Structure 1
């Protein structure tokens, strides 16, 4: 189709040029035919003259002079020259336009080639790169740049350690810093490849204030890195169970984190079509920025397919998974309830007091119904710092979220509406402190 269009463009000026030459020739021809010689016999006299000649006389020769010939030739030359100039200009413009398009195409191919120099030849990565780089939505980071920015992924730049990777603080330059998640191969290379591809794909599509922002990715040999926006305070897990043991998280900050997580889940469950189930929500996947705004990360297991078996962390798994592997948004609600218990009690989702791990749900739920004893089992970092009515309400929400029967658990929207009134206005809630 493109070839046909270019052929017609070239044919048009040739036709115009031919038409002008033909017109000029026709004018000359018509002028030559306008000269007539009339002589002796009546047969040689033009009709117009023959009608008026009644008497005999000497032979007459009449010549029709070409009075306007020069003028008409001049006009024909002007018209032909004009058409010829227009044709030449048109051809020059067409050639320049074609040259510019070829140059732009070559430049685009060269830029794309340069942008993927650091990408390996793994087929699964090519699928991401070929789509994302072409659309210009996901930058590809050079591995040497990230290695230098994290001081060769040194322990001094570790923000948090998770089950499948480690978060690093990376300083790209004096004014720019990012969070780099370096994936480990603990689950096997194929699993890491699938998780890497899934997370990059999801985060490229999902945009929300409580969902981590994807800045880019890096593939280098067997290493996979995902570049997030800077999250100065690492993960919720490192804040609660790391060296500080939750001392930096006040009651109000914990409620803010809970509300932020609920808002992120509400977006996934209610505003994505079809709904997205995170499938691996846990404190290590909740990242905190400099102001303790919480953002959900690690979408390696997220899905819109409700028939896939749910992976996850012991202690965060809903009971229906243990029975039939059923995946619904209520799985995420259960996991949210576990995080809420961690915020209240300061305990890990699965403690190991003996040879067998004990879920925080198994340990806490029987004790949460005893209001008189509830303040005594709280995280020591927040004891006596909250209104007891608020404490009882948060505990009740947590118990509802971790109910064994999925139908008894609330929707995440209902959970969010229950928590917002407990959070001060300046932190994003509706509670007005007098």
Structure 2
């Protein structure tokens, strides 16, 4: 057994699961190795399980790198179980491992309740919620501070034990040096050099003061953002210095797009490990003498704060913070949630990106935008609100293509008790028409021309959304140039237009082949939404209901979910009694059951995909919503006739089979078949 090797780098050696298991067995009895790198070796779930058992025994290892090993959430939970009994490992790298929220929650629960030695867990390139990352980072920072304080305390004790007097020999040598020699070695500076030194000292002192003040403002802004992101509190004012720090002083390289009255910058806080966008008022759009335009732009920003602060909805980007200068020509900034895929317009303009939008994804995007408008029109934020500028540039897509409706700067608020009465929050635009050319309701445009200022109503947003639906359906943007001709969906397809083309015949070939029923109903809905008369259009609830039905029924026919078996397991980290929480020991091994399932599928020679995840209510909802073909749940067998589901913090709770059926009833035909295995009782039911 080797006791002298302190660090081992074995990156990208393709050792796979067998090699990972062998290394873990050797590491369990090793007393010298403190650093191990196994990046990019595809050790998978089996390797991660062996590493978890090894960490229970090893008390020497301080740094472990396992990035790009495809261990998944199940592997992360196995490592978390091992860390419950380990108090020496300080750093673990799990980047790019297909770890989802369940695995991250297990690691967080371990760090929170059992392990105090970990000060760094890298989970980059994993699909994990930002709020969960933030809680993890905060807990690790607390571990780090407590360890630093412990080291400082021990050092101070050691210093107090030592004598502070000079050695006698050194004192004797000092007395032997004549005073003249000291003067020759350190001559008195001249008056000019003294004044120069004083000036430099004052400048350095001033710079140090400014730097300290600047760092204090950055820390203040970071604290505000941290509190806002971790909770559902309303947006707060944040120092401008913090925003400058996160955007590299609003560098042009950080520009992600341009809104109606501002530029959008990508901001990064490396300490919080978060990205967000900052929308800054664009002063160069207004002439220096145009005070009215500046007032209008600032009023738009204030209106946007008013609107966004009212809503907490998954399809409306969250407003984290803002900065409004008292000076009209000063900086005005809004800080929003970041959507990494950019705008819908950027996808429709690019053939390569547009091909990623299959017809099922396009229906889901349309449904998401409709849900955002429904939230605004029904006054779920406390007051009825109209967007007034629905177009593809104001629809942003997250990593999973969830759509969010942005840019409420031109929005109108209406009293919730009377939706026919509209009231502009800021009367700075007068009778100026609001919206984007081509997406503006014709009747609204005519009323503005006739001087009817308060002519906007909910059906005007419905018209704009209908044009967006046709953009999505045809893959061609309204008012764009195609073959030398300008695209005009209203004139081409509407019954009130001039051409009256059949919309169904103009589907985007890059979206794939639509199911005929979905193609007919989606195109018919879009045409109803762009009729000239307001009273002939459907309301937002009817639009949302129809799109929800189309989206739900389209998913089982998609290639991804049509032939999918979702294997869910319940494997809680702890159990609870009157004395507190305790680690589960021995833990159940689900690997064999999963292997048998995969072997059976392989022997059937059928194209069936297997997805693995924890048996939590959140996962059940997601799979039911996506109408997965088959659900396989494997769980503990006690108490009898109950199913064990995991909660969000590593614990568990039990439900009956009837309760499970009741919980899934709101989803239309969620699964073709559900099979439940209850372990340790020999009982199975479906």
Structure 2 partner of 1:140: 237
Structure 1 partner of 2:401: 292
1:224 to 2:332 alignment: yes
Given the alignment, which residue of 363, 374, 396 partners 2:504? 374
Structure 2 partner of 1:177: 275
Given the alignment, which residue of 419, 426, 436 partners 1:313? 436
Give how far 1:307 is off.
6.6
Change beyond 3 A, Cα 1:316–1:251 = same
Change beyond 3 A, Cα 1:193–1:253 = same
Change beyond 3 A, Cα 1:341–1:307 = same
Structure 1 partner of 2:461: 332
- The aligned length equals 302
Q: Secondary structure at the match of 2:517?
A: helix
After TM superposition, the structure 1 = structure 2 runs for residues 75-154 of structure 1, keeping only pairs within 5 Å, are 137-154=234-251
Give how far 1:227 is off.
0.6
Deviation string 1:323-373 (CA, Å, 9 cap, x unpaired) is 2131110011011101101111122222246999653322343799766x7
Asked whether the 8 Å contact 1:142–1:218 carries over to 2, the reply is yes
Structure 2 partner of 1:12: none
1:408 to 2:536 alignment: yes
Deviation string 1:406-429 (CA, Å, 9 cap, x unpaired) is 000000110111111221354598
Q: TM-score, normalised by structure 2?
A: 0.40
Deviation string 1:66-124 (CA, Å, 9 cap, x unpaired) is xxxxxxxxxxxxxxxxxxxxxxxxxxxxxxxxxxxxxxxxxxxxxxxx989x99xxxxx
Give how far 1:239 is off.
2.2
Higher-Rg member (1/2): 1
1:254 to 2:362 alignment: yes
Supply the distance in 1 between the matched residues of 2:258 and 2:669 (Cα, whole angstroms). Answer: 35
Supply the distance in 2 between the matched residues of 1:201 and 1:224 (Cα, whole angstroms). Answer: 15
Structure 2 partner of 1:342: 471
Change beyond 3 A, Cα 1:321–1:369 = closer
Supply the distance in 1 between the matched residues of 2:316 and 2:521 (Cα, whole angstroms). Answer: 26
Which 5+ residue runs of structure 1 have no aligned equivalent? Answer: 1-113, 120-135
1:210 to 2:315 alignment: yes
Change beyond 3 A, Cα 1:189–1:354 = farther
Change beyond 3 A, Cα 1:274–1:169 = closer
Supply the distance in 1 between the matched residues of 2:550 and 2:437 (Cα, whole angstroms). Answer: 30
Asked whether the 8 Å contact 2:343–2:394 carries over to 1, the reply is yes
Structure 1 partner of 2:129: none
Structure 2 partner of 1:31: none
Supply the distance in 1 between the matched residues of 2:509 and 2:244 (Cα, whole angstroms). Answer: 39
Deviation string 1:266-321 (CA, Å, 9 cap, x unpaired) is 11112445421111111111122221111112111111353765511111100111
Give how far 1:213 is off.
0.5
Query: RMSD of aligned C-alpha atoms?
Result: 3.3
Structure 2 partner of 1:236: 344
- Displaced runs of 4+ in structure 1, greater than 4 A? 242-245, 307-310, 352-358, 366-371, 427-434
Q: TM-score, normalised by structure 1?
A: 0.62
After TM superposition, the structure 1 = structure 2 runs for residues 34-53 of structure 1, keeping only pairs within 5 Å, are none
Question: Which range is displaced more, 263-272 or 178-187?
Answer: 178-187
Give how far 1:161 is off.
3.3
Structure 1 partner of 2:391: 282
Give how far 1:374 is off.
3.0
Give how far 1:181 is off.
1.9
Q: Which has the higher helix share?
A: 1
Supply the distance in 1 between the matched residues of 2:217 and 2:240 (Cα, whole angstroms). Answer: 13
Give how far 1:153 is off.
3.8
Question: Which range is displaced more, 145-154 or 212-221?
Answer: 145-154
Which 5+ residue runs of structure 2 have no aligned equivalent? Answer: 1-215, 222-232, 287-292, 415-421, 425-430, 449-454, 556-623, 628-666, 673-686
Supply the distance in 1 between the matched residues of 2:305 and 2:351 (Cα, whole angstroms). Answer: 31
Change beyond 3 A, Cα 1:254–1:358 = closer
Higher RCO, 1 vs 2 (CA within 8 Å, ≥6 residues apart): 1
Deviation string 1:347-405 (CA, Å, 9 cap, x unpaired) is 2222246999653322343799766x734x222321x4321220111111110111100
Asked whether the 8 Å contact 1:315–1:350 carries over to 2, the reply is yes
Change beyond 3 A, Cα 1:370–1:335 = closer
Q: Secondary structure at the match of 2:412?
A: coil
Supply the distance in 2 between the matched residues of 1:307 and 1:232 (Cα, whole angstroms). Answer: 34
Supply the distance in 1 between the matched residues of 2:250 and 2:352 (Cα, whole angstroms). Answer: 23
Q: Secondary structure at the match of 2:256?
A: strand
1:159 to 2:256 alignment: yes
Asked whether the 8 Å contact 2:341–2:396 carries over to 1, the reply is yes
